[in-house]
Amino acid sequence: MRAEAQTLVDHIQQSLGLLRRHLDWDHALRRLDELNAAAEHPGLWDEPQKAQALMRERQQIEDQVKSVRGLEQMLNDSVELIAMGEEEGDESIVSDAEATLKALRDDIGKREIETLLSGEADKNDCFLEVHSGAGGTESQDWTEMLARMYLRYAEAHGYKTETIEVHSGEEAGLKSATFQIKGHNAYGWLKTESGVHRLVRISPFDSNARRHTSFASVWVYPVIDDTIDIDVNESDCRIDTYRASGAGGQHVNTTDSAVRITHIPSGIVVQCQMERSQHKNRATAWTMLRARLYEAELQRREEAASTINAQKTEIGWGHQIRSYVLQPYQMVKDLRTGVETSDTGGVLDGKIDSFLEAALAQRVHGKGEGVPAEG
């Protein structure tokens, strides 16, 4: 086997070993046997909630085991093809098998990153808010560009999205918007996007074609289910109703159906306006508030557990996490990890995976990867 192919095989075998250790392979197989036996019990569905939890755990472990076994089979098949091609002197077989190994290496690399998604709420759906900073139309246009970026990212990864609130700008863009992003590990992947995003470009709204700097903030927090108990005292909250200002149905601007809840002790504010029914908007707003309070608790725990205070990620309006420069040159750079790319068009079209992976690794390991993105 050629040296390059052998290096690939060694790298893949090492990564497969890491995946097995993360899964705790022997324990996973034993647990899967237990869950399969429990699934066959005739009284399983006497307690539907317990049964659903069991079936979810079973499916998750089964998928993980099948995934590792499938990767191992692909590796073995490729090694056999290379041996056969070399024995027969068929370079095309060897080249095809080496290409498969390279693709397999990249696939396993992404799966290794996914093993970092082990936080308490990482597997959950999430809410994602974008808010414009100072600067009027410029910042509002930038906010709309960011919202589109995340919606395109969600679409590319098979996530479903639901618009919760949209507050349009007077001339263009968005003052704010909130979306629910639904899919496995949605919060885990997007949680590091919270912070301030800066855009530098020649303004399309400036007749003198001057360069402008705009800011927008992003906030990501997990959707929580009934198994997580968050106690909210209604006496600590102020509830306001108002007329919605964005799209949402023919009656949206004629009734006070939009709901804003302010949690006074924490200062957290949530709002929902996309339903015609005030009752439905109120219910969604309460769900968002519980989720925000839960996220704040997760953040508090993370900071308390951090032993590298100088490197921990802060979340807030004053913390810039990424810079997007469109003029005089093209570059998107993450200020936490050093990851950068000149493919600004791709990033704004939702190709942000390299930034998410590096920020996630930094959050878990306490250091940035420092590897430039392609482009």
Q: Token pair for residue 19?
A: 């995946």
pLDDT level of residue 114 (50, 70, 90 thresholds): confident
69, containing H or E segment: helix 48-88
The full 3-state SS of 73-133, as one line of letters, equals HHHHHHHHHHHHHHHHCCHHHHHHHHHHHHHHHHHHHHHHHHCCCCCCCCCCCEEEEEEEC
Residue owning tokens 């250091």: 367
pLDDT level of residue 287 (50, 70, 90 thresholds): confident
Contact in structure between 340 and 332 (CB atoms under 8 Å) = yes
Residue 41 has a pLDDT of 93
DSSP string, 237-302: EEEEEE---SSS-TTTTTS--EEEEEETTTTEEEEE-SSS-HHHHHHHHHHHHHHHHHHHHHHHHH
What is the average pLDDT score of the chain? Answer: 84
Higher-confidence position of 44 and 109? 44
Residue 353 has a pLDDT of 93
Residue 246 has a pLDDT of 53
Q: Token pair for residue 302?
A: 């993370």
Residue 62 has a pLDDT of 92
Q: Find residue 332's DSSP bridge partners.
A: 324, 341
362, containing H or E segment: helix 353-365
Residue owning tokens 């303004």: 203
15, containing H or E segment: helix 3-23
| Other beta carbons less than 10 A from residue 13's beta carbon | 13
Question: pLDDT tens-digit profile of 132-180?
Answer: 987 788 999 999 999 999 999 999 999 999 999 899 888 889 999 999 9
Contact in structure between 204 and 170 (CB atoms under 8 Å) = no
Q: Token pair for residue 126?
A: 């999430």
> What three-state secondary structure class fits 176?
strand
> What percentage of the chain exceeds 70 in pLDDT?
87
Domains and CATH numbers, the chain: 3-114 (1.20.58.410), 121-375 (3.30.70.1660)
Distances (CA, A) of 70 to 31, 62, 78, 256: 20, 12, 12, 55
Residue 121 has a pLDDT of 81
Q: Token pair for residue 146?
A: 């960011």
For the stretch 56-66, what's the b/e string if a residue is b when 16 or more beta carbons lie within 10 angstroms of its beta carbon? Answer: eebeebeebbe
Q: Which amino acid is at 31?
A: R
Residue 231 has a pLDDT of 73
Q: Which amino acid is at 343?
A: D
Task: Say whether pLDDT at 92 is over 60.
Answer: yes
Residue 302 has a pLDDT of 61
Return the top range by mean pLDDT from 176-190, 245-259, 260-274, 290-304.
176-190
Higher-confidence position of 7 and 208? 7
Residue 95 has a pLDDT of 93
Question: pLDDT tens-digit profile of 50-63?
Answer: 898 899 889 889 98
Question: pLDDT tens-digit profile of 184-225?
Answer: 889 999 999 999 999 999 888 777 777 888 999 999 988 876
Give the integer Cα–Cα distance in Å for 58 and 48.
15
Burial of 371 (0-12, 13-18, 19+ CB in 10 A): middle
Task: Say whether pLDDT at 228 is over 80.
Answer: no
pLDDT level of residue 276 (50, 70, 90 thresholds): confident
What's the whole-number mean pLDDT along residues 292-320? 57
State how far Cα 316 lies from the chain centre: 18
Residue 348 has a pLDDT of 97
Lowest mean pLDDT among 111-120, 196-205, 289-298, 340-349: 111-120
Q: Token pair for residue 92?
A: 């095309």
Task: Say whether pLDDT at 310 is over 50.
Answer: no
Name which of 282, 260, 258 is nearest 269 in CA terms. 260
